[in-house]
């Protein structure tokens, strides 16, 4: 009789990356290309993670939409500019998840008391896992806020707090390469 194979996850490992304060400098509701300031080493960090087999996924709260500071379309366009800038340095983003909802929003369509996607809730991470066959046991989050760490915890992944500087140096040190 043949041995029973052990169930192995065939999902991909991922790194969930916060946007403002991790990939880009947090300049206060940036949404125009002229406001974009990439974090030092961001493209190189994403490239390093890609080379190690990680799918890189942006997960970002964007309450500026709910607050009426910019539109959802502007948010998506700005996120695509970030993806293109990272690609120029050889970094590939597999997906972007953005939560435009907030409990104190001024735009009624985006007013929500506690949206499941808004970090510290894990909705964006869990949707990405389902959408992209992500192996959460081999995945982790890099964020700069306590809400990022809590979203990671609730999604069942490790969270690592980036406090500024060069993101590639942080990733290299984190992974030990």
Closest CA to 86 of 135, 137, 17: 17
- Which one of the listed residues 20, 144, 148, 168 is annotated catalytic? 20
- The residue ranges of DSSP E strands in the chain, in sequence order, are 14-17, 55-61, 93-99, 140-143, 158-161
Give phi and psi for 99, each to the nearest 5: -110, 110
What's the start-to-end Cα distance of the chain, in Å? 43
Task: Give the integer Cα–Cα distance in Å for 89 and 4.
Answer: 45
Task: Give the integer Cα–Cα distance in Å for 114 and 101.
Answer: 8
Active site residue 114: no
Give phi and psi for 2, each to the nearest 5: -75, 145
Ordered DSSP codes for 27-64: -SS--SGGG--BPTTHHHHHHHHHHTTPEEEEEEE-HH
- Which one of the listed residues 18, 144, 148, 168 is annotated catalytic? 18
Active site residue 20: yes
Please give the positions annotated as active site: 18, 20
């Amino acid at each position: 009789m043949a041995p029973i194979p052990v169930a192995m996850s065939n999902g991909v490992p991922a790194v969930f990356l916060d946007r403002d304060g991790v990939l880009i400098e947090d300049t206060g509701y940036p949404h125009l290309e002229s406001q974009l300031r990439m974090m030092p080493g961001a493209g190189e960090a994403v490239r390093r993670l890609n080379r190690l087999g990680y799918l890189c996924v942006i997960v970002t709260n964007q309450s500026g939409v709910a607050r009426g500071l910019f539109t959802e379309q502007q948010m998506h366009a700005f996120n695509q500019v970030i993806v293109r800038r990272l690609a120029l340095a050889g970094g590939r983003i597999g997906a972007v998840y953005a939560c435009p909802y907030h409990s104190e929003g001024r735009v009624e369509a985006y007013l929500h008391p506690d949206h499941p996607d808004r970090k510290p809730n894990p909705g964006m991470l869990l949707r990405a896992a389902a959408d992209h066959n992500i192996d959460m046991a081999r995945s982790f989050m890099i964020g700069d806020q306590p809400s990022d760490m809590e979203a990671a915890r609730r999604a069942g992944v490790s969270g690592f707090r980036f406090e500024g500087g060069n993101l590639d140096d942080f990733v290299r040190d984190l992974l030990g390469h």
